[in-house]
């Protein structure tokens, strides 16, 4: 079975500061890794994903995450956050052969202050 | 961009009543899923559905729950006799592939059992 741990339940930062949201996973098999974002009163939106290839993946709005197999981590980073990045962020993993079942972390609430 | 549509957005029901949550997946997708998120907790997998049968289900998905794709376009989740602890946000998702790489989530139905 897979599990995901997001080490920080809440991360407050000031606008234009860098941020890192941490995610560690455990699995006995290869997995795909995802970050989802949930804005208030909205559904889950895919932010970025790692399936294979380059371990550094990027989103269109400036977030990036790096897959580190040896540390079983997939931390999310952004060099300069905006107020609009305030949301809850979920890390998730999927085992490729399990018909797409996603296992989510507990979520990290990112609050960007002016 | 294609969307997964869920109705209603919010449903209030009395304990013991049956509820049906409805989802319209993306038209050419083949894999369908339900997840739930109890307030303040992580998103949890309930069930996956492919080729008109359940592919995988979690321990949460007991005999009170059922899924159906009645007409080739809708995908429904039925809870036969709701309990207070069924109050949660329920997310539908669909994918064109079995490995979560092409997941799209709906915006959710908030179920409140009173």
Residue A113 forms contact with B (CB below 8 Å): no
**Cis peptide, bond prior to residue B8, ω within 30 of zero:** yes
Contact present, B14 and B113 (Cβ < 8 Å): yes
Distance CA B69, CA B83 (A): 24
Give which of A77, A73, A54 is closest to A65, Cα–Cα: A77
Distance CA B95, CA A102 (A): 12
Give the count of Cβ contacts less than 8 A between chain A and B.
Answer: 67
Cβ neighbourhood burial of A92 (10 Å; 0-12, 13-18, 19+) = buried
* Interface contact flag, B42 A105, Cβ < 8 Å: yes
* Interface contact flag, B43 A44, Cβ < 8 Å: yes
Q: Please report the pLDDT score of residue A2 as a whole number.
A: 82
Retrieve residue A59's tokens: 């989103």
Residue A53 forms contact with B (CB below 8 Å): no
Digit-coded pLDDT (tens) for A21-62: 999 999 888 888 999 999 987 888 999 999 888 899 999 889
% of chain A residues with pLDDT over 90: 69
* Interface contact flag, A43 B101, Cβ < 8 Å: no
A31 CA: distance to closest CA in chain B (Å): 9
Q: A22-31, A67-76, B42-51, B100-109 — which is least confidently predicted? A: B100-109
% of chain A residues with pLDDT over 70: 96
Q: How confident is the model at residue B85 (pLDDT cuts 50, 70, 90)?
A: very high
Contact present, B66 and B78 (Cβ < 8 Å): yes
pLDDT above 70 for A67: yes
Q: Read off the pLDDT of each residue in B24-50 and give the average, rounded to a whole number.
A: 92
Q: Please report the pLDDT score of residue A94 as a whole number.
A: 87
Distance CA A29, CA B66 (A): 30
pLDDT above 70 for A96: no
Q: How confident is the model at residue B73 (pLDDT cuts 50, 70, 90)?
A: confident
Q: How confident is the model at residue B71 (pLDDT cuts 50, 70, 90)?
A: confident
Strands (E), B51-107: 53-57, 65-68, 75-79, 88-95, 104-105
Q: How confident is the model at residue B70 (pLDDT cuts 50, 70, 90)?
A: confident
Q: What is the mean pLDDT of chain A?
A: 91
Residues 6+ apart with CB under 8 A from A17: A80, A81
**Which of A32, A45, A106 shows the shortest C-beta gap to B42?**
A106
Q: Read off the pLDDT of each residue in A57-79 and give the average, rounded to a whole number.
A: 94
Q: How confident is the model at residue A99 (pLDDT cuts 50, 70, 90)?
A: low
Q: How confident is the model at residue B96 (pLDDT cuts 50, 70, 90)?
A: confident
pLDDT above 60 for A98: no
Q: What is the mean pLDDT of chain B?
A: 92
DSSP B84: G
């Amino acid at each position: 079975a897979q599990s995901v741990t997001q080490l920080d339940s809440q991360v407050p930062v000031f606008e234009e500061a860098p941020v890192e949201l941490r995610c560690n996973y455990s699995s006995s098999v290869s997995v795909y890794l995802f970050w989802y974002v949930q804005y208030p009163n909205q559904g889950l939106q895919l932010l970025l994903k790692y399936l294979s290839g380059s371990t550094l993946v990027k989103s269109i709005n400036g977030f990036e995450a790096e897959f580190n197999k040896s540390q079983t981590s997939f931390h999310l980073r952004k060099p300069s956050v905006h107020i609009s990045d305030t949301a809850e962020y979920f890390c998730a993993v999927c085992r490729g052969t399990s018909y797409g079942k996603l296992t989510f972390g507990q979520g990290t609430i990112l609050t960007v202050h002016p | 961009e294609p969307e997964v549509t869920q109705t209603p957005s919010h449903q209030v029901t009395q304990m013991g009543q049956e509820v049906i949550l409805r989802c319209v997946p993306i038209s050419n997708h083949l894999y369908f899923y339900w997840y739930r998120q109890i307030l303040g907790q992580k998103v949890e997998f309930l069930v996956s559905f492919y080729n008109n049968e359940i592919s995988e289900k979690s321990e949460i998905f007991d005999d009170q729950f059922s899924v159906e794709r009645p007409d080739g376009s809708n995908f429904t989740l039925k809870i036969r006799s709701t309990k207070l602890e069924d109050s949660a946000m329920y997310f539908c998702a669909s994918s064109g592939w079995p490995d979560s790489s092409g997941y799209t989530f709906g915006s959710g139905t908030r179920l409140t059992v009173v």
